[in-house]
Amino acid sequence: MIKRDLVRSVVRPVRKTVLGQYYLSDVFGDDLISAFSLVDLGNQRGSVDSAFNPVVRQRRLSDSATLSFPAPIGDDLLSWLAGSNSTTPKLYDQSGSDNDAVKVSNNNEPALVTSGAIILDSLGNKALSFDGTDDYFQTAAGSLLGGNLTLQIVASFSDSQNDVFEFGGWADNGGWILMIRDTGVLFRSKQSGTANEYYGVSSANDYVDGTPHLFTLIIKDFTTSPSISLFVDGVEISLSVDTAKTGTYGESQTNGAIGKRRTGGDVAGMKLSCLNVWDADKSTQRADIESLISTWIKTPIS
C-alpha cells in the first residue's frame, strides 16, 4: 500500500497524484496553505481510498477509540459508532500542504455526532459544533502567512460573539482574530509586542442568525498598514475601520487557533462546515472560488 504522506508534499502541494487527478490547489492556486471541510472539496485530492484521503478523524465516546473517515461522512461513521456519540480530534488539510487542524486535548474536541445523528446546519450541511467552553483546533497555517491573507469560511452562528480564527503571529508584527458578532463587529485585534493596539473593523450587518453564510476576508499587508475587504455570500460589505488605540487585552493568543474562546467571547453557537486559508490576496479569483465552493457546500449563493 502506498502511504498517504508519499503522495502529499510536506510544504507545498505537488501538482498531481499518481492517479492523474488534481489537488485542490490546482484549482485555487499553490498559495492555498490549508483547506478544511467535512466534504471532499471537489474530489481534488487524488484517490478516493480512505487510506489516502480521510477528511476527518473521530473519537467514539463510548470507549475513546479513534478512526479516520473519508467523505462522504455518513453510514460508515454511524455504523462504527454503534449508537455512541463522537467528537473530532483532527481535520485533515485538503490543500496538500499537510497543515492539519488538531485538537489540543481530548476535552477540546468539537462534536460531530450527537443523539445518534450527524450534526447539520440549517441548510443541511454536515458541521462541527463547538461547545463554547474549550473546544478548538490548532493548525500551523496561522504562522505560515507572510503579509497578505485570504480567509474563507462557511459557518453559522447563533451566539452573540464568536472567535473563529487567529493568525499572523503574536510578536513584534502583531496578530489578528477573526470574530463574528451580533453587534456587527466582524474583525478584531492587532496586538504589537507588549502594547495592546486594537484595530477594529465593524459593519452594521448582523450575521448571528443561525443561517450558514460564506465569509471571504481579504487583507493586504496585515503586518503594517492593513487594507481589509469583507464579502458575505458574494456581496462586499461596507466596513468602518476604527483608529488603532491602546487598550487592555490580557490574554495570550494562540496562533493558528480555530474556534478558541476568548474573554467575553463564545463559540457555542458556531457550526463550521469549511475553512480555507491562502497566503495571498485572491481578489481577482474570489468570485470564481466562491462559486465553486457553493457547488460543494450549500450557502445562500448556491
Instruction: Enter the C-alpha cell of residue 137.
Output: 483546533
Q: Is residue 302 part of a domain?
A: no
Q: Are 163 and 133 in contact (CB under 8 A)?
A: no
Residue 261 burial (C-beta neighbours within 10 Å; 0-12, 13-18, 19+):
buried
CATH of residue 150's domain is 2.60.120
Number of domains in the chain: 1
In a domain, 176, yes or no: yes
Q: In sequence order, which residues have a C-beta less than 8 Å from that of residue 90 and are 6 or more positions away?
A: 56, 57, 68, 100, 101, 102, 103
In sign, the C-alpha dihedral spanning 233, 237, 241, 246 is negative
Q: Which run of H or of E encompasses 79?
A: helix 75-81
Please, are residues 255 and 169 in contact by the beta-carbon 8 Å criterion?
A: yes
Domain annotation covers residue 245: yes
The model carries a pTM of: 0.83
* DSSP characters over 261-299: --TT---TT-EEEEEEEESS--GGGHHHHHHHHHHHS--
Residue with cell 487557533: 257
Residue 11 inside a domain? The answer is yes
Burial of residue 238, with CB atoms counted within 10 A of its CB: 0-12 exposed, 13-18 middle, 19 or more buried: exposed
Integer angstrom CA distances of residue 103 from 20, 33, 35, 64: 33, 19, 16, 14
Q: Which domain holds residue 280?
A: 4-296
CA distances from 124 to 101, 119, 214 (A): 23, 9, 14
Can you say how many angstroms the Cα of residue 93 is from the centroid of all Cα atoms in its chain? 10
* pLDDT at residue 3, as a whole number: 35
CA–CA gap between residue 25 and residue 22 (Å, rounded) = 8
- What residues are paired with 277 via a beta bridge? 34, 151
Nearest to 179 by CA among 72, 62, 269: 269
Contact status, residue 132 vs residue 261, Cβ threshold 8 Å:
yes
Residue 238 domain-assigned (yes or no): yes
Cα gap 269→162, rounded to integer Å? 8
For residue 301, being part of any structural domain is answered with no
10-residue averages of pLDDT along the chain (302 residues) = 33 34 63 90 49 84 95 94 96 88 83 96 94 79 80 86 71 65 58 51 74 91 79 86 52 74 60 93 92 90 83
